[in-house]
Amino acid sequence: MADADLTFTIGPDQAGTRLDAYLASQIEGWSRARLQRLIENEDVLVKGKVAKPSYKLREGDEIEVELVAPATEVFTPENIPLDIVYEDETLVVVNKPAGLVVHPAAGTPSGTLANALAYHFQKLPGATSVRPGIVHRLDRDTSGLLVVAKTETALENLSDQFRDRTVYKSYVALVHGRVLSSSGKIDQPLARDRSNRTRMAVVRGGRNALTLYRVRRAFDRFTLLDVELKTGRTHQIRVHLTWMKHPVVGDETYGGGRDNTIRDPRLRARIRSLNRHFLHAEKLGFKHPMTEEFVKFESSLPPELEDLLTQIDADS
């Protein structure tokens, strides 16, 4: 089963059933314990709101589940080059380029980071599955740091750290407009956009989501931000910054056509030629699964993003 968003509507026969028990009866290949973790991670909504595994269902309840594929689906390892930032016997940190999907899903059956990992590290936990050693994701057009577990123990340890929100994740984002506050936070719940299921949106009763930001540099018509994720919701930074009326430059999904309003035709063409949005996972920190020492890694901005900043600076 690939990544999916499932929706269930409760009929009279299911009323009174526990939420976790109901999902276990409906979703093949998922244990009740794993589904409980999914619910506790707020990846399950009942009537648009988070709920507990013990919630007793009522007739008419609509359940939304953001389901990440379990490591059971076999696929083909591929010899795709990897930019390895750090590696030891326990884990590897890679620098993902923009355009590379993390793991196979509908419409992208191959050519992913997971295919590359399975080729280069045959002994990863689940090396022949769609998620070999993978504990977190980046959007296709977001570049930057990802940690991959090389052992089952490391996979469980790192997964727990991400679940407990103790992992440090800092991004660089270039946004439209001048952000007036030097720093701030966006604490707005996120859920699937009911009018477009491929998008996320700020939705009352959705999964809690917290983003911190700080201005790194201000330009005439843009702002370069340091953005720290305190939660890890799908498209969180992009949706939160759009909600703040400062969409990420180059974001065709959430930018609302803002790139098209740039008056300078050379700059407008340069942004279009990126074929990506200006979002880079610059810093990643966590406790090493073996030593328990907090380790931190950093990735420089890709050349195409640095070049864009140089052009914007020259025009300011």
Please list the active-site residues.
139
Rounded CA separation 179/218 (Å): 8
User: What letter does residue 141 receive in the DSSP assignment?
Assistant: T
User: What letter does residue 159 receive in the DSSP assignment?
Assistant: H
Rounded CA separation 303/232 (Å): 26
**CB-based contacts of 298: which residues, under 8 Å, 6+ apart?**
145, 282, 283
Rounded CA separation 232/102 (Å): 15
CB 89 within 8 A of CB 150: yes
In 94-235, alpha helices (H) = 113-120, 152-163
- Single out the residue of 109, 99, 98, 103 nearest to residue 124, CA to CA: 103
Starting from the edge strand earliest in sequence, which strands make up the sheet with 4-9, in order? 4-9, 62-67, 44-46, 49-50
Within 13 Å, how many C-alpha atoms sit on residue 161's CB side? Answer: 23
**CB-based contacts of 261: which residues, under 8 Å, 6+ apart?**
none
